[in-house]
Amino acid sequence: MKSYSIALIPGDGIGKSVTEAAWQVLEAAASSSGFALQGQHFPWSCAYYKETGRMMPEDAIETLRGFDAILLGAVGWPAEVPDAVSLHGLLLPIRKAFVQYANIRPHRLLPGVEGPLKAASFDILCIRENTEGEYSGAGGRVHQGTSDEVAVETSIFTRNGVERILRFGFEQARLRKRKLASVTKSNAQKYSMVFWDEVTARLAPEYPDVQVTSYHIDAMAARMVMAPDSLDVVVASNLFGDILTDLGAAIQGGLGFAASANINPDRSAPSMFEPVHGSAPDIAHLGIANPIAAIWSGAMMLGHLGEHGAAAKVMAAIEAATARGIGTRPGQDRTETITTAVLAALA
Ligand code: NAD
Ligand code: IPM
Ligand code: MN
């Protein structure tokens, strides 16, 4: 029987319960589809940091490299470990080391979910550059703590980095409605974002079948609320994509619905699948985290592994549960209730 090795990194807070939920559903989908998932748990998290002084071991990247995919919950417990330490110690280095440069985040309303907008239907695929830009980690602080203090955070945009994420967006658009929105802030950021706009314009003639429009990030934020149905594929830089995808989560009913895939398109290293949301410390002990985002991310993982039938089964099971009104409003159902409903629909 075909078998895939999956590294499980539940992480912190609700990351643990939603990963557990997703894993149950994925195992059920695998066994009914004739393949196996071999999961190996890694306890890397803020609790692990408190014990060991590291978010993950020194050889973690080499350990993960051997897996077919990574399923991650959420990282961060700011009351105990500063976010800049935990995220730069675990999540962000994996995205970079494995060149997971395309972060794919779908935003649409599941059946039975009433979003906050009047628009009854939209289907947006946000594609976020995931390895450079505003998250390059270049910068520093001088005269710290004095009135002369200066903090610099340099965004690094390379031709290779910008070109490959835009090409990825064009290719995705070809699989959908052939509309690509390229998002920048080139009216204010005169180097990096003008460069991004130029690369977009230069690539466009290679994809004459795709309709390309450049938007400013502020206007795009408004458009996602006012006219989300006018959008298809939206490509943005690391930080802009981060912000737009929490907005996308909001219009699809909440962070509990927003799935995400950190893809290495060349398949030179494993890809990583995780919900858009974080560890949600405010609800972490209540048992009410919505696991749908994590389960949907798991479905994206199955698709990436080539198990399209199983991926479709998981999506159909999620939709059957929400169509019955299960898990459609934040806090309404317990994590367990939603997971059981998805498992029942799968069976
Ligand atoms: P968050 O996404 O954890 O929570 C924002 C709000 O959404 C909270 O009110 C939370 O209760 C709610 N929410 C999130 N997921 C939910 C779910 N599945 N079901 C129901 N409600 C849900 O964002 P935050 O509070 O800014 O961050 C908390 C921690 O998580 C921080 O340490 C942050 O850095 C980290 N974080 C990690 C990731 C990641 O690992 N990918 C993503 C975002 C934030
Ligand atoms: C996300 C998260 C991370 C990001 C944080 C936790 C570093 O917000 O995956 O959207 O900004 O990439
Ligand atoms: Mn985010």
Beginning with the edge strand found earlier in the chain, give each strand of the sheet holding 211-216 in spatial order: 35-41, 2-11, 69-74, 271-273, 261-263, 102-108, 123-129, 233-236, 179-184, 211-216
Residue 301 — pLDDT band, cuts 50, 70, 90?
A: very high
Token pair in block for residue 347: 């069976």
ipTM of this predicted structure:
0.99
Taking CA atoms only, the protein residue closest to ligand 2 atom 8 is 242
Which atom from ligand 2 is nearest to the alpha carbon of 239? 11
Residue 294 is encoded by which pair of tokens? Answer: 């994590």
Structure tokens, 107:
């935003």
- Note the pLDDT tens digit of each residue in 143-192: 999 999 999 999 999 999 999 999 999 999 999 999 999 999 999 999 99
- Going by C-beta distance under 8 Å and a sequence separation of 6 or more, which residues neighbour residue 10? 16, 19, 20, 41, 43, 45, 72, 73
Choose the residue to mutate in 113, 279, 292 for probing ligand 1, maximizing ligand atoms within 8 Å of C-beta: 279
**Smallest Cα–Cα separation from 75: which of 33, 117, 36, 43?**
43
What tokens appear for 92 in the block?
A: 């962000």
Query: Which backbone phi and psi does 48 adopt, to 5 degrees?
Result: -60, -40
Show Cβ contacts of residue 99 under 8 Å, excluding neighbours closer than 6 positions.
Answer: 131, 264, 266, 268, 269
State which H helix or E strand residue 140 sits in. Answer: strand 133-142
Residue 119 confidence class, pLDDT cut points 50, 70, 90: confident
DSSP state of 110: P
Q: Is 80 in the pocket of ligand 1 (CB under 6 A)?
A: no
